[in-house]
């Protein structure tokens, strides 16, 4: 078994990276049921968003807000820039600058946020247990 602090866990890193790709695919397809399935359906799930409500969200509120926000946009495309994936056995922490483009009310727009996602391996499936999103401006 790899050292939980110093081990690379390359296979698990690849699995988490794949899950991030699946998250982006679900968002782009507006498949909110699939997107919700990538979140830990548990009271242990939490999220701090970069826009209102700024209070801690549980899984149900987070899923509902994501569906409301993302359901009103078209042509969503995103990528995790400067992605770092650290695996600690059954836990993985990803940090990145999440850049995305979309259309709303016929207008194209683009944005970037800092994103930290914490995954847990539950029954062989990597699920998001915590999300923390915060504003990002170049050079900050």
In the chain, DSSP assigns E strands to 46-48, 74-88, 91-104, 107-122, 125-135
* Residue 108, pLDDT score: 97
Query: Mean pLDDT by 10-residue block, N- to C-terminus, for the chain (140 residues)?
Result: 92 98 97 98 97 94 95 95 97 98 95 98 98 86
pTM, full prediction:
0.94
Give the domain extent around 57: 10-135
| Total number of domains in the chain | 1
Residue 32 domain flag: yes
* Residue 40, pLDDT score: 98
CATH of the domain at 113: 3.10.450.50
* Residue 69, pLDDT score: 92
Residue 140 domain flag: no
């Amino acid at each position: 078994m790899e050292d939980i602090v110093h081990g690379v866990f390359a296979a698990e890193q690849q699995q988490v990276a794949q899950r991030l790709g699946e998250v982006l695919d679900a968002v782009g397809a507006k498949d909110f049921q699939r997107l919700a399935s990538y979140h830990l359906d548990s009271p242990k799930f939490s999220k701090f968003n970069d826009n209102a409500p700024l209070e801690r969200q549980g899984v149900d509120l987070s899923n509902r807000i994501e569906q409301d926000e993302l359901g009103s946009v078209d042509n969503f495309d995103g990528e995790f820039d400067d992605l770092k994936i650290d695996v600690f056995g059954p836990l993985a922490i990803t940090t990145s600058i999440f850049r995305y483009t979309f259309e709303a009310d016929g207008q194209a727009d683009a944005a970037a946020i800092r994103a930290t996602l914490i995954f847990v391996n539950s029954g062989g499936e990597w699920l998001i247990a915590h999300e923390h999103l915060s504003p990002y401006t170049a050079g900050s």
